[in-house]
Structure 1
Amino acid sequence: MEPPPKRAGVSKAAVGQMRATNDLEANFETCSTLASAAASQGCSILFLPECFAYIGIAGNDALAVMEPLDGPLMARYRQLAKDTGVWLSLGGFPETGPDADHRYNTHVLVDSDGDVRASYRKIHLFDVDIPNGPVLMESKTASPGDAIVAADSPIGRLGMTVCYDLRFPELYSRLRHEMGAQIMLVPSAFTKPTGEAHWEVLLRARAIETQSYVIAAAQAGVHSEKRESYGHAIIIDPWGKVLAKLEDPDNGIGIATADIDLGYLEDVRERIPVDKHRRKLETFEATVEKE
């Protein structure tokens, strides 16, 4: 089956790629440059990756910079949105957590007036020992969120997730079918080994199965001796086609842009109406036949 024809784009979005470090000021300057570029290209919203404000060297470094969403660091990013006139999806912020030893990894949506419209605390924490790669135990210094969040924006309804959430398709199913999300956001700092193996295929799968746009901002390149990110920030359409991508993880700091066409999204959903065909499997009896 061929995809439906494209309609005229109704809005333009920018996905960002950067290489954050433990230098708060340098990270802010990079984000400022990306926001200015998005504004100059006529984008209404810029998507920034997980850990956009800070990536430490040790796992607990972020505890030293965590603060509430009404604190001075977030205030700078809120002012940046206001100054550029661009909405900002801030993919993962070290929000003050439930105790001194834990923060939240919080995805924050800020409008062009500098107001926080929504925030989502990452639910699935990345605790893995990657063969030939880093040992990352996010739960040692972070606490998981307990709410699923969608929010309206100039380009449509956004399903807010963060990085490792990508591996849990039931989250995206609920965002689409129960909360009406049209654009799934996956701001990330994917490791190089997992990124090379799984990044694009998982993102395209989420786009195809939810018939939604997927926008995945990315960290890229070497942050420190202990940490490297895969990059390849990407925008994918509801048919699973890659619309825009930053290829080079070392020199690819910048933005990629694409039109978000909600009319086209509705055409895709009407052509294969999975929403009408979907069954509530939690109501089905489940059996396992044993030997």
Structure 2
Amino acid sequence: MAANSARVAVAQMTSVNDLSVNFATCSRLVKEAAAAGAKLLCFPESFSYMGANLGDSVKIGERLDGPIMQGYCSLARESQIWLSLGGFQEKGSDDSHLCNTHVIVDDTGKIRSKYRKIHLFDVDVPGGMVYKESSFTEAGNEVVAVDSPCGRLGLTVCYDLRFPEVYECLRFQHAAQVLLVPSAFTKITGQAHWEILLRARAIETQCYVIAAAQAGKHNEKRESYGDSVIIDPWGTIVGRLPDKHSTGIAVADIDFSYIDSVRMKMPVDKQRKPIDFWKSSPL
């Protein structure tokens, strides 16, 4: 493979309320991605645990130096692969709160970066359930990007996808080349908006987008949409699992020269107006 590209993999899985079962699934997918030559494997939100009842996640919340995360660091080290671990239940500032944390682990098992989800999912889904993530989750307040062998990664989590300013900030202020969107989208919102939002973010920012998704029924109360995808800077889907309910990985190559080509031909970074322009512009 050419030096100006890097192979990545995106996972799809159905997490349950059993840490060991989810770890076994992730372990298998890590080995599969490493065997396929991927330098980075991206897991979905709540990869390590999906509670059956509201508040279950808080009970298992743990620090990043605790045994749960350290087990995943060991997976990365053993298979010599970078991992995007999106939506880890990091212990919060008290016993009744956690942080929804996206952790990047390198191929030596070292935590390179962490991003705490900024936009919490407080929504009454039309025709679905009422969710109030803020009742047990503390919001983050920092935009995070980190360098990797697969380019400069912009970190987000799930509901952040509906707020394009996060992705604009990652691209135009933090020089992101690849945007990561680990998610557990509801079936209703996923059917309506998942693909179109992801492709829009890729087109707007001229970045690759890697969106790892939870899939199918986790329990009697919770079902996720699925459809893990990798999208190029032109908005084309270049990696996708064959169906929206399977557990597995899809693989694609990040082509750095293609990122440069798209950005050179359509130089939106040079043509954007500063925020102050819109504030002062007459209505």
TM-score range, shorter chain: over 0.9
Q: How far does residue 9 in structure 1 lie from its aligned partner after superposition?
A: 6.1
What is the CA–CA distance in structure 2 between the aligned matches of 1:144 and 1:98, rounded to whole Å?
A: 11
What is the CA–CA distance in structure 2 between the aligned matches of 1:52 and 1:15, rounded to whole Å?
A: 12
The match for 2:44 is: 49
1:16 alignment partner, one of 4, 8, 11: 11
1:256 maps to 2:230? no
1:129 maps to 2:124? yes
- Structure 2 residue identity aligned to 1:146: N
The match for 2:275 is: 281
Q: How far does residue 45 in structure 1 lie from its aligned partner after superposition?
A: 0.7
| Alignment of structure 1 residues 45-84 onto 2, 5 Å | 45-84=40-79
| Alignment of structure 1 residues 164-243 onto 2, 5 Å | 164-243=159-238
Q: How far does residue 161 in structure 1 lie from its aligned partner after superposition?
A: 0.2
Q: How far does residue 286 in structure 1 lie from its aligned partner after superposition?
A: 4.5
**Aligned 8 A contact 1:208 1:240 in 2:** yes
Q: Deviations over 1:211-242 (max 9, x none)?
A: 00000000000001110000000000000000
What is the CA–CA distance in structure 2 between the aligned matches of 1:50 and 1:287, rounded to whole Å?
A: 41
- Structure 2 residue identity aligned to 1:87: W
The number of residue pairs the alignment matches comes to 281
What is the RMSD of the two structures over their aligned residues, measured on CA atoms?
A: 1.2
Unaligned runs of at least 5 residues, structure 2: none
Q: Deviations over 1:265-289 (max 9, x none)?
A: 000000000011011033441544x
The match for 1:244 is: 239
Q: Deviations over 1:231-259 (max 9, x none)?
A: 00000000000001124222x21000000
TM-score (norm 2): 0.97
- Secondary structure, in 3 states, of the residue corresponding to 2:44? strand
- Secondary structure, in 3 states, of the residue corresponding to 2:93? strand
Moved over 2 A (4+): 281-284
1:91 alignment partner, one of 81, 86, 95: 86
- Secondary structure, in 3 states, of the residue corresponding to 2:33? helix
- Secondary structure, in 3 states, of the residue corresponding to 1:142? coil
1:105 alignment partner, one of 94, 100, 108: 100
What is the CA–CA distance in structure 1 between the aligned matches of 2:88 and 2:103, rounded to whole Å?
A: 7
Identity %: 56
- Secondary structure, in 3 states, of the residue corresponding to 1:256? strand
The match for 1:3 is: none
What is the CA–CA distance in structure 1 between the aligned matches of 2:282 and 2:241, rounded to whole Å?
A: 45
- Secondary structure, in 3 states, of the residue corresponding to 1:101? coil
